[in-house]
Structures are given as C-alpha cells and as structure tokens.
Amino acid sequence: MIKNVQHLFIVIIMDTLFNLYYFCEKIAKKMLHLFRIVSYLEGISYLLLLFIGVPFKYFGSNDVLVKALGMPHGLLFISYIIIALFIRPSLNWNKTSLFIVLIASVVPFGTLYVDKKYLKNQTLVKA
C-alpha cells in the first residue's frame, strides 16, 4: 500500500515538473517574441523623442511632443530592461552580451542592432 502511494506521489511530481517545463518553454518563446516587439517600439519611441520631440521643444518652444512621447518611451524602456533580464537565461547570454543589450537601449538605433545581432534567428537554450 505504501509503495503504491509513493509511486503515485512520484508520478504526480514528475508529471507536474514536465508540465511546468513545457509551460516555461512556451513562455520563453512568447517572451522572446514580446522582447523583439518591445525592442522595436522602444527604439522607435527613442528616435522620435530624440530627433523630433527634443528639437521641437528647444528650437520651437513647443514641448507637446516631449510630453506625449515621454511616458510611452519610459514604459517601453523599463519593459525592455525587465524583459531582457528575464530572457537572459533562456538565450544563454553571458554578462558581456547582457551588458551590450542593456546599453543598446540608450544608444540611438541600438535596439535595432540588438535585434539583428542577438535576437534574429535565435534559438532558446533547453534547460
């Protein structure tokens, strides 16, 4: 009787671990896709803010674009950083790669470089 209960308990644990692994793998794929989208949007919002909003503010005395683009860019920037930290293990980035990915978020056109070099045709690491 005890052996049957132990066996059942082991089967339940193994099944739960397998389902958790499968779920995490599906989430990692979705996180990579989400990171690519956020990366593009963050890069575009930064370029719009830097090359359109700031000149309008300082040369045209009109800060409407900075106010309109500032909040979405801030949210995308924070999302970019958080998602990059979450997907690092799945993509097997070392500290240097992670540093480059994070620094690219403050360099104009940096997120486009990250997409081409680190994200395009990327395969996830099996844990």
At 35-92, the pLDDT tens digits run 999 999 999 999 999 999 999 999 988 888 888 888 889 999 999 999 998 888 888 8
b/e burial code for range 38-48 (CB count within 10 A of at least 16 → b)? bbebbbebbbb
Judge whether residue 1 has pLDDT over 60: no
- Percent of the chain scoring above 70 in pLDDT: 75
Query: Where do we find the tokens 């990327």?
Result: 122
